[in-house]
Amino acid sequence: MRTAYSVETVRHAEAQLMARLPEGALMQRAAAGLAAACAGLLGRVYGARVVLLVGSGDNGGDALYAGARLARRGAGVVAVPLARDRVHEGGLAALLAAGGRVADDPFEVLASADLVLDGITGIGGRGGLRQDAVPVARAARGSDAVIVAVDLPSGVEADTGQVRGEVLRADATVTFGTYKPGLLIDPAKEYAGTVRLVGIGLEEHLPSVPALEALQHADVARMLPVPAAESDKYRRGVVGVVAGSARYPGAAVLCVAGALRGGAGAVRYVGPAADAVIARFPECLVHAGPPGKAGRVQAWAVGPGLGDDAGVVEEVLASDVPVLIDADGLRLLDAAAVRDRAAPTLLTPHAGEAAALLGVGREEVEASRLDSVRELAARFGATVLLKGSTTLVAAPDAESSPVRVNPMGSSWLATAGSGDVLSGLAGSLLAAGLGARDAGSAAAYLHGLAARHAAAHGTPITALEVAEALPAAWRDVSAA
Ligand SMILES: NC(=O)C1=CN([C@@H]2O[C@H](COP(=O)(O)OP(=O)(O)OC[C@H]3O[C@@H](n4cnc5c(N)ncnc54)[C@H](OP(=O)(O)O)[C@@H]3O)[C@@H](O)[C@H]2O)[C@@H](O)CC1
Ligand SMILES: [K+]
């Protein structure tokens, strides 16, 4: 599991750690890790041309001390201070003592740089880059140099992943002590390149509940249901799928395709597309409806391609088993009925649907995904999976449940019907006994991994191919 902490928490932990260390020791640890990462990227340090973009805070200090270390190994290191009157003095002295210098003309040195260290702002940055930093940042980006962000790409919001102005896009980011939320969430994440975490001893001072967590293979493997010897299909869980309509039978087929590969013992389809479902999947139990008459299930997935049948959404919400609501179901749901439920509810909107549920514009959700998913979870008293380039899953008990961020996205998933597969898959995991946050985040992970499998040859993929690649994703994860 990779975890991220808010700036406030990081600063608190740093203060505790610093109190136990000699002055400046922490910054030296950060600089040592940063210099080592740069050396790795350069291959040969001796003779390399390194430019440091130095802001007025400690982020600039890190860049200067790392630059001093590279200069001692024979690199030509030049500092570009962005606020001449305010620069980390100890860092600058160290750089000069190691043979580095201050640039006369920033644009000239940037034009021939091999590596640029972006030390303009870190966790102390507010808003996008300031006007005076913009031309220098653009010149860096326009050069052939590898850009390495110190702690964070300058200009992103560390706590939210929001981007409100210009950002210096990095090829790699070396972050200290812990990931920051902005390194895991779009749009900020897109500016970070490859992220490397350097330990500085902060870990033991961080609280047990982070702001954010990102699953890895082994985490998902631990969650996935494994049938016991005495299991039968009912004990493994039956998932009820309420999806599709005369107009959209395909949504039912895709949702069932996902559900069949999600670990439930059986899939019960309920609705008007039973013929299409059974023609494709003879192993599926089908029923014309209504859901209450279809037989016992351990979880419902309702919504994809449903059209305007609000009655079935109401009926499913009135049940006492976990319910996943997607697509048309999100448009038709009664908010009070969701809030009043005793069993878990998992809502799976994309940004547009989330915006409608919140009563704001889609852009607003896109720009502040973390706040949006938290707000939805609190408002509906439900677990919310916000789909997107980085899918987020938030539970209503925010204090004890960090938001999960899916690191396994794939841009190939932007294809019709892929959301229907995800709903079926997550519903199946709910029926198999996973909690809503685990079911949502494990489903998003497997779904993204399946898309990567399906697109392995670099060709466009269909939603059904994503469903068909789910066993391969499941195998990968289980082997970890
Ligand atoms: N604490 C520790 O022990 C450790 C900390 N470490 C390092 O310190 C970093 C945090 O340092 P920090 O707190 O000094 O803040 P920092 O990110 O340098 O930025 C603040 C400065 O930037 C300025 N500024 C603000 N916004 C701006 C903008 N949009 N565009 C341009 N400038 C802007 C702002 O100016 P002001 O608003 O005052 O005019 C202020 O002077 C952290 O990320 C890590 O790298 C590591 O060494 C590990 C140990
Ligand atoms: K930076």
Burial class (CB in 10 A: 0-12, 13-18, 19+), 475: exposed
Please indicate whether residue 65, judged by its CB atom, sits closer than 6 Å to ligand 1.
no
The residue ranges of the chain whose pLDDT is under 50 are none
Binding residues for (6S)-NADPHX: 58-62, 122-128, 151, 251, 305, 350, 420
| Cα–Cα dist 221/176, whole Å | 28
Beta carbon of 201 within 6 Å of any ligand 1 atom: no
How many other CB atoms are there within 10 angstroms of residue 196's CB atom? 16
What ligand 1 atom has the least distance to the C-alpha of 127? Answer: 29
Q: Which ligand is nearest to the CA of 172?
A: 2
Q: List where CATH 3.40.50.10260 sits in the chain.
A: 2-213
Q: Please list, residue by residue across 149-169, b when 16 or more beta carbons sit within 10 angstroms of its beta carbon and e when fewer do.
A: bbbbbbbbbbbbbbbeebbbb
The answer for residues whose C-beta is within 8 angstroms of residue 346's C-beta and 6 or more apart is 322, 323, 324, 325, 382, 383, 384, 385, 426, 430, 436, 439, 440
Token pair for 199: 């330990």
Predicted confidence at residue 119, as pLDDT, reads 98
Report how far residue 307's alpha carbon sits from residue 27's, in angstroms, rounded to the nearest whole number.
58
CA distance 102 to 120: 15
Q: How far is the CA of 119 from the centre of ligand 2 (A)?
A: 4
Please indicate whether residue 126, judged by its CB atom, sits closer than 6 Å to ligand 1: yes
247, 460 contact by CB (below 8 A): no
- 153: CA distance to ligand 2 center in Å? 5
pLDDT value of residue 84: 78
| Range list for CATH 3.40.1190.20 in the chain | 217-479
The reported pLDDT for the residue numbered 409 is: 87
CA dist 457 and 292 (Å) reads 44
CATH of domain 2-213: 3.40.50.10260
311 token code pair = 């009655």
CA separation, residue 292 to residues 74, 264, 267 (Å): 75, 19, 15
Identify the residue whose C-alpha is closest to ligand 1 atom 43: 122
pLDDT at 479: 93
Q: What is the pLDDT of residues 156-215, one digit of tens each?
A: 999 999 999 999 999 999 999 999 999 999 899 999 999 999 999 999 999 999 999 999
Q: What pLDDT was estimated at residue 417?
A: 94
* 23: Cβ contacts below 8 Å, ≥ 6 apart: none
Pocket test for ligand 1, best of 8, 29, 56 (most atoms within 8 A of CB): 56
d(CA 410, CA 437): 20
Q: Ligand 1: which residue has its CA nearest to atom 24?
A: 125
277 and 284 Cβ atoms separated by less than 8 Å: yes
C-alpha distances in angstroms, 179 versus 9, 151, 176, 194, 202?
12, 9, 7, 12, 11
Which CATH class for the 217-479 domain? alpha beta
Contact 172, 41 (CB under 8 A): yes
pLDDT of 480 reads 85
Q: How far apart are CA 233 and CA 474, in angstroms?
A: 19
Residues 424 and 301 sit within 8 Å (Cβ to Cβ): yes
Q: 């999960």: which residue's tokens?
A: 404
Ligand 1: residue whose CA is nearest its atom 44: 59
Q: Is the CB of 18 under 6 A from ligand 1?
A: yes
Does residue 30 have its Cβ closer than 6 Å to ligand 1? Answer: yes
* Residue whose CA is at the smallest distance from ligand 1 atom 21: 57
Preceding peptide of 227 cis, ω within 30°: no
Q: What pLDDT, on the 0 to 100 scale, is given for residue 399?
A: 87
